[in-house]
Amino acid sequence: MKTHIRNFLISGLCISSILGLNSCSQNSNKSQYIEGRVIEEYGNIPSLTHSSGALFGNESVKYSQKVYGIKVEAGIEIYNIQIDPNEWNFTFLAKDHSMANLEASIEKETQVKFPVKNYYGDDMFPKDKIGCLNPNDIEVLGKD
């Protein structure tokens, strides 16, 4: 009797292990991407900004924080996307887009692809469609 119970438990463990491995092998990536058309760019990519009114009457140069963003029309929605290299990269791809290279590649009417849901299926943009993405999350598709 004990042998039958032990065999039953072992076969149950084997079946549950197989089912568990099957569910792990299924694609669990729930990210979602959309494509849209850039309708506006904004920001200040140059890292040096001229400033006047220095203490000694000379023109001085100060460092400024790099800011780059795009406004994208995707269907009936308008997305305002700030590009920030410090933001988590959701594509998990070994790309190395810098803000400057991305800015040089994008102009008005450029088609781009970007994630709206992350790997876990969470929304990356709230209802107001304002968000922040890593440069590697933006794929430049070119112009029509």
Residue 67 is predicted with a pLDDT of 84
Query: Which tokens in the block code for residue 43?
Result: 């920001």
Position 101 pLDDT exceeds 90:
no
Tell me the pLDDT band of 24, cut-offs 50, 70 and 90: very low
For residues 120-143, average pLDDT: 91
d(CA 123, CA 137): 14
Task: Tell me if the pTM is above 0.75.
Answer: no
Dihedral sign of CA atoms 106, 108, 110, 114 in order: positive
More confident residue, 65 or 27: 65
Give, for 137, the enclosing helix (H) or strand (E). none
Percent of the chain with pLDDT over 70: 61
CATH 2.40.50 fits 32-143, yes or no: yes
